[in-house]
Structure 1
Amino acid sequence: MSTTYVVVTVLAAAMTGFSAASVFFRAKWVVEPLADYSVPQSWWPWLGAAKAAGAAGLLAGLFVPVIGVLAGIGLVLYFAGAVVTVIRARSYYHIPFPLVYAAPVVGALALGFTA
């Protein structure tokens, strides 16, 4: 296991955890776009829980690699769904935001397969 892999994985988990906390605490800069995208408020806790579980799974993957791979795949799918949601809402200028969160997850997955 390389140092780079560990650093990128911890960064990915921290960013995803921050994103989950932002949903849980209903940060204005997160929930206003969700409302604009017509994401029902009843989904918000589940979306935050999915991100929190993904972050925990990435960290667990440092010790049990299959968990990290599954968490990474789940998070990539989650953020791909976020991009689709943004596109469907025609908020094209928001497309980079889910991609910024997905990038370290993809990096962690790629580094995990090469380690």
Structure 2
Amino acid sequence: MTTAQTVLAAVLFLVFLPLSLAKIAAVGVMRRAAAHLGMSPGLYRVIGALELAGAVGLLLGLASAPVGVAAATGLTLLMAAAAVVHLRHGDSPVRALPAAVLALAAGAYAGAAVVAR
């Protein structure tokens, strides 16, 4: 595990942790985001739980590379799907950009972890 991988895992964890917990708790801004995208609060909670699992998996990946790769791959797919959902709902590309950037960052982590093995 390189220093860059460790830092990237930590940064991704710190980004996904509050976002996932806010979705699970269905705070106001997340309920509005779910409604904007045509999703029920329950579905948004499931997405939050998947994000939380991915974030925790990234930390566990510091001790077990396959777990980290699986978590990063899951987060990559989840965030790529989020970007697509935003664009399909008529949001501007700028609104989809955070999800796309997180997908790229998680994918970079997964790729680096696979190469380092």
Shorter-chain TM-score range: 0.7 to 0.9
Alignment partner, residue 111 of structure 2:
110
**1:47 shift after superposition:** 0.8
Q: Pairwise mapping of residues 5-20 of structure 1 onto structure 2 (< 5 A)?
A: 5-20=5-20
1:68-107 equivalent positions in 2, closer than 5 A: 68-92=68-92, 93-107=94-108
Q: What's the RMSD between the two structures over aligned residues?
A: 1.6
1:54 counterpart residue number: 54
C-alpha distance in 2 between matches for 1:106 and 1:85:
19
Q: Distance in 1 between matches of 2:37 and 2:55?
A: 24
Q: CA deviation at 1:32?
A: 1.5
CA distance in 1, matches of 2:113, 2:3: 11
Higher relative contact order (CA 8 A, sep 6+): 1
TM-score (norm 2): 0.86
Q: 1:84: Cα distance to partner?
A: 1.4
- How far does the alpha carbon of each residue in 1:54-81 deviate from its partner, in whole angstroms, 9 at most, with x for none? 0011111111111111111111110111
Distance 1:35 1:46 in 2: 15
Identity %, equivalent residues: 23
Q: TM-score, normalised by structure 1?
A: 0.88
Instruction: Check the 8 A contact 1:11/1:104 in 2, yes or no.
Output: no
SS in 1 for 2:90: coil
Q: Unpaired segments of 5 or more residues in structure 1?
A: none
In structure 1, what is the equivalent of residue 36 of structure 2? 36
Contact 1:23 1:30 (C-alpha < 8 Å) held by counterparts: yes
Which residues of structure 2 form unaligned runs of 5+? Answer: none
> SS of 1:95's equivalent?
helix
